[in-house]
């Protein structure tokens, strides 16, 4: 399994696909599928049967996973950037390759 450079809580922009240009916060990263769930991006309609918890049932909007390769991290300046790793004070930190700032 490979290490992903996007983590939960990061702000990302979709760079390819139907939702290109949309931005959102990463809610969950699915390591085994190389996908992430981004808030407000790639929403799908899900039918729900009536149940005791939800007696009405109906159609609910839900975010679907989107592949990591279609996402790019946004740095503090609002620009998309690639992620690098380096050691600072004996700690491994992520940094923006565009602005060279620690993320």
Three-state SS string over the chain comes to CCCCCCCCCCEEEECCCCCCCCEEEEEEEEHHHCEEEECCCCEEEEEECCCCCCCCCEEEEEECCEEHHHEEEECCCCCEECEEEEEECCEEEEEECCCCCEC
pLDDT 10s digits, 54-93: 899 899 999 999 999 999 999 988 899 999 999 999 999 9
Distance CA 50, CA 29 (A): 30
Residue in this structure with the two tokens 């390759």, named with its chain if needed: 97
Q: How many distinct structural domains can be found in the chain?
A: 1
Average pLDDT on 35-40 reads 96
| 17 found inside a domain | yes
pLDDT reported for residue 1: 59
Name the pTM for this structure.
0.82
Distance CA 87, CA 85 (A): 7
Count of residues for the chain? 103
CATH number at residue 70: 2.30.30.30
| 101 found inside a domain | no
Distance CA 28, CA 61 (A): 17
| 44 found inside a domain | yes
Domain extent for 31: 11-48+58-96
């Amino acid at each position: 399994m490979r290490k992903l450079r996007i983590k939960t809580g990061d702000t990302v922009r979709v760079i390819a696909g139907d939702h290109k240009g949309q931005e959102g916060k990463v809610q969950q990263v699915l390591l085994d599928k190389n996908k992430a769930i981004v808030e407000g991006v790639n929403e799908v309609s899900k039918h729900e049967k009536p149940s005791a918890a939800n007696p009405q049932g109906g159609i609910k909007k839900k975010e679907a996973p989107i592949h990591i390769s279609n996402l790019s991290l946004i740095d503090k300046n609002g620009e998309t950037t690639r992620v690098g790793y380096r050691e600072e004070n004996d700690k491994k930190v992520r940094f923006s390759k565009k602005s060279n700032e620690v993320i």
